[in-house]
Amino acid sequence: MNYLKRSTLYLTHKKGQSLLLLLIMSAILVFVLSGIIIQNAAVSATNSVTKSAGTTISVSANRNKMFSKMRSSASKSKTKTITTPTVSNAKLKKAGSLSTVAYYNITNTASVNASSFDTVSTTTGSQGGGMMKGGASGASTGNITIDGVSSTKLTSSFISKEDKIVSGRNITTSDANSKNVVIEKELASSNGIKVGDTITVKMTTSGKKSIKLKVVGIYKAKSTSTSSMPGSDPSNTIYTSYTLPATITGTEGKSSTVTYTLSNSAKEKSTTKKIKSIINSSSFSVSSNDESYQQLLQPMKNVQAFAKKIVWLVAIAGTIILGLIIILSVRTRQREIGVLVSLGESKMHIIGQLFSELFVILIGAMVIALLLGNFVGNKVGNQLLAQQQTTSVTSTSGANGGPGGGGAPGSSQTGGGMRGGAMTTQSTTSSASKKALKTLNTSISPSSVIKLGGMGLVIIALAVCVSAISILRLRPKDILIGE
């Protein structure tokens, strides 16, 4: 009798044992398949995060070089001055045209004095706040901060929703070489300024020279100043195109800071290298910020690693369980095996019969696994993802030491004047939270089915190999005499 036919007859005759093996094999394959599809979903999500995380590369003045030049000039002159280096806009735009750069934001800052309107002043204690008339025309630092940007939508304060347009429009790249500005709501309402009005400011270097600015938008700032210094209130920050501050400071065609946002965070190192070669200046430092990318990527890596462990642990445990069951089954079938061997049946055929029995059960178990695997994988994967994201955000917040941690007060590299640096960590965490995947897109692909079938075959093959040791040691004479 053909051993393949014997395996079919045995399975139909031993219905209880066959059903038990089917349930055990199905449970093993369900968890193996769940691990495979969770792992595939995590890989897909990692690729998505890589493209959408928004890793940034900032080009800004090298402070060490600035102070070194100041000390050098101070030895020749009694006056200590810090000169902010600039780089041509042509180089910055060339770097921005790299295929890995999604968009970039050039920023320049200048200080002027209010002329046709009053600034907003902030005082502490019981003195209260109010308006400061005009500006200190002879001051070296004005009471109005001009933040020049490529687009206000690309600044950290607007991205984090700390600032938002309430009337009119944003500053865009089309405003280059214009005198269009966006002013704060408090400053506008206190002076009765509306969209379309013209305001006048005076240069700090020459109190007599005036510049007329056209208001194209009004924004609302959530943050407030804790300083009573003139012009320190966020309401005194005016946004305009990056070309206007350069005109005020006499650096036309040049800029001091630019932030590049990458389309693929995995290309951060190579892009940084290319930007450095384009800028080619020791007066500037090129630094990257992939905190948001890492914060989004870590949960994906954890889910992927956990899914891999599921596959291997279940596969190993399944092999051991099936091996033990087959060994016990062989002991109860010793007489059957002894008779077959005494009749001239090859031991390899008997081992093949055991493999065939398990293979038939494997086919049925795969059908059950395909029906239940996606459901189990979806539940386990999304619960694990939510847990990993919560852990990641908590650890990031703790490492930053609270809101604003790690920011440099007064930084304006990404826009926002006096408020830019203090909000860097908050905006990064907020951005990462918004971009974080809420669910894993788990699905059964043809490659998953192939992997499942391969793992199933390996499991039953190893289980049969373990039990084959006892079969090969059996001698039919000893079996029949023992009976």
Phi-psi region of 178 (alpha: psi -120 to 50; beta: other; left: phi over 0): beta
Question: Among all chains, which residue has been given the structure tokens 């069951």?
Answer: 325
Structure tokens at 53: 């995380």
- CA 278, CA 110: separation in Å to the nearest integer? 26
Distances (CA, A) of 364 to 13, 34, 380: 17, 17, 23
- Calculate the CA 95 to chain-centre distance: 23
- CA 332, CA 34: separation in Å to the nearest integer? 34
What was the pLDDT predicted at 166?
94
- CA 208, CA 323: separation in Å to the nearest integer? 94
Query: Within 13 Å, how many C-alpha atoms sit on residue 441's CB side?
Result: 8
What was the pLDDT predicted at 199?
94
What was the pLDDT predicted at 305?
81
Question: Could you tell me if 213 and 238 are in contact, meaning their C-beta atoms sit under 8 angstroms apart?
Answer: yes
Element spanning 448, H or E: helix 446-473
- CA 380, CA 44: separation in Å to the nearest integer? 17
Question: Could you tell me if 438 and 31 are in contact, meaning their C-beta atoms sit under 8 angstroms apart?
Answer: no
What was the pLDDT predicted at 400?
47
- Coil vs helix vs strand at 405: coil
pLDDT tens, the chain, 483 aa long: 576 777 778 778 888 888 888 898 888 888 888 888 877 777 777 666 666 666 788 888 766 655 565 555 555 555 555 667 788 899 999 998 999 888 899 999 998 999 999 988 765 444 444 554 554 433 457 789 999 999 999 888 888 888 999 999 999 999 999 999 999 999 999 999 999 999 999 987 765 788 999 999 999 988 665 555 555 688 899 999 999 999 888 889 988 889 888 887 778 888 989 998 998 877 788 887 766 666 666 777 777 787 788 788 888 888 888 778 877 777 777 677 777 777 777 778 888 888 888 888 889 989 998 888 778 777 776 676 676 656 555 554 454 444 333 333 333 334 444 444 434 444 444 454 445 555 666 678 888 889 888 888 888 888 888 777 776 776 666 655 655
Length of the chain (residues): 483
Q: What interhelical angle do 334-342 and 291-332 show, nearest 10? A: 70
